[in-house]
Amino acid sequence: MKNIFHKLKRDYYTINPKQKSGAFELLKYIGPGLLVTVGFIDPGNWASNFAAGSEFGYALLWVVTLSTIMLIVLQHNVAHLGIVTGLCLSEAANKYLPRIGSRFVLWSAMGASISTSLAEILGGAIALQMLFDIPIKVGAILVAVFVFSMMFFNSYKKIERYIIAFVSLIGLSFIYELFLVDIEWGEAARSWVVPSVPEGSMLIIMSVLGAVVMPHNLFLHSEVIQSRQWNLQDEKVIEKQLKYEFFDTFFSMLIGWAINSAMILLAASTFFRENMVVDDLQQAHSLLEPLLGNNAVIIFAVALLFAGISSSMTSGIAAGSIFAGMYNEPYNAKDIHSKMGVMISLGVALLIIFLIGDPFKGLIISQAVLSMQLPITVFLQVRLTSSKEVMGKYVNSVFTKYLLYGIAIIVTLLNILLLASFFVNVKI
C-alpha cells in the first residue's frame, strides 16, 4: 500500500538517464527549490524585514546573508534525504525514531506550520485590506477559502506553476520598487557581510532568522524534491538528481536572498532615512504613498497578496506531509491524512487570527516561534542524514555532519538569547 501512495504523488515527471545533459535538461530540475523559496519571502518575512530596515537601516542585512547560507546547507542536505531514501523528513522520523520521540518532533513541527500559516493568511488578508478595504478577518477567510480550493482542486504540477509565477511577480515588484529609491550600495554591501548587533535588535534578528530558516520548509523540501522522478533501483538516476538538486537549491535560495534583501533595502532607504519606524504593514503601505507614489503602493499590496497566497499553499503542503508522515504515508492531496494536515494548519491558524488584536505583532512573534522549533527539526535532520542505516553510502561526511551540528548549535544559542529578551526583558 505504501508503494502505491508513493507512486500516486510522484507520477508526473520521469527522468531518462540516457538523455543528453545540458541547460535545457538542467531547467527541468528547477521547481522544488522555488516552492521552498516561497516560504521565506512570505508575509512574516515582510514584517520582520520592514521592521529591521526601518529601525536599524542596512545594519541587519548580514542576517539575511547568514540565514541564506545556513538555509542552502540545510535544504541541500534534507533534499538528499528525500532523494536517497524515498521518504520525506516526517516519514523518516516516524520510521527511525522511537514513537514518543517522533510524535514530539512531528507535533511540534505541526505547531510551527500553524504559526507559519497564521503569518501567511494574515499577510494575504492585510493585502486585501490595502487594496479593497476589506476587514482583516473577512480577508483572512477569503484567503483561506481560496487556498483550500487551489490545493484540493488542482494537481501538484499546476500548483507548482502558479507558485513559480507568483515568485516571479514578487521579484519583479521589488525590482520596480528599488528603482524608485536611492540606495547607498556601499553601505549595503558592507552590511551584507559585516555582522553588527545594534542595541535592542535581538528580537528582530531572531525574527529574520526564523523567517528565512523555517522548520516546515525542511519537511516541505524533502517531500517535493521527489516530484521529479522516482526510481530507487537506478543508481544513475539517483546520482543525476543529487547532482542537479544542488543547482535548483542554490539558484532558488539566491532568489530568496535577493528578495529578502530588497525588502530591507526598501525600508532602510525610505522609512529609516525619514526616521519612521514601521510597526505595522498597513503603516508601511500608507507611508510609501507620499514617499514613492500611488503606483508603488499598489504594487506593494499586490506583491504582498501573492506572497500570502503562495506561501499559504506551501505551508499547507508541508503540514499535509508532516501529518501524513505520522501514518507512514507521503503527501497526497487526495488522501484523508494529507487533507487533515492541511486543514489543521490552515484551520487553526485562521482561528487564532480571530483571537489576536495586533496583526503586525502576531506576524513578528510567529517568526520567533518558528526559530524556537527550528533546532528540534535541524537536530532530527542531522541525525537521520548522518545515519548509515538511513542513508547508506550517501551518509553525511564527517565535515558535513559537524557543519550541520554547528548550525544547529548556533540556532539553539540564539534561541536562548531570544527567550532571555522575552522573559527577562533584557535588551541584547
Domain 2-9+21-423 is found in CATH 1.20.1740.10: yes
- pTM score of the predicted model: 0.81
Q: Where would I find the H helices in 268-397? A: 281-292, 294-325, 336-353, 359-385, 388-391
Contact between 110 and 120 under an 8 Å Cβ cutoff? The reply is no
Q: Contacts by 382-391 with C-beta closer than 8 Å and gap 24+?
A: 382/77, 382/408, 384/81, 384/89, 384/92, 384/93, 384/96, 385/77, 385/78, 385/80, 385/81, 387/96, 389/96, 390/81, 390/85, 390/92, 390/96, 391/80, 391/81, 391/84, 391/85
Q: What dihedral do alpha carbons 41, 42, 45, 51 form, nearest 10°?
A: 120
Distances from the Cα of 306 to the Cαs of 22, 64, 140, in angstroms? 32, 21, 14
User: What tens digit of pLDDT does each residue of 194-250 get?
Assistant: 988 888 887 788 777 766 777 888 888 888 877 655 545 566 666 677 777 788 888
Residue 348 grid coordinates:
487553526
Q: What share of the chain in percent tops pLDDT 90?
A: 17
What are the extents of the domains in the chain? 2-9+21-423
Instruction: Pick from 16-30, 256-270, 292-306 the range whose average pLDDT is largest.
Output: 256-270
Q: Say which residues have a Cβ less than 8 Å from residue 56's Cβ, sequence separation at least 6.
A: 198, 201, 204, 272
User: What tens digit of pLDDT does each residue of 47-102 get?
Assistant: 788 888 889 999 999 999 998 998 889 888 988 888 888 888 999 998 898 888 88
Measured in whole angstroms, the distance separating CA 133 from the mean position of its chain's CA atoms is 28
Q: What pLDDT, on the 0 to 100 scale, is given for residue 7?
A: 42
Q: What pLDDT, on the 0 to 100 scale, is given for residue 16?
A: 44
Euclidean distance between CA atoms 425 and 405, whole angstroms? 29
Q: Where would I find the H helices in 60-183? A: 61-85, 89-96, 99-132, 136-152, 156-178
Contact between 153 and 242 under an 8 Å Cβ cutoff? The reply is no
Is residue 285's pLDDT more than 70? yes
Is residue 426's pLDDT more than 50? no
Residue 132 grid coordinates:
479593497
* Helix (H) / strand (E) containing 246: helix 235-267
Euclidean distance between CA atoms 349 and 114, whole angstroms? 5
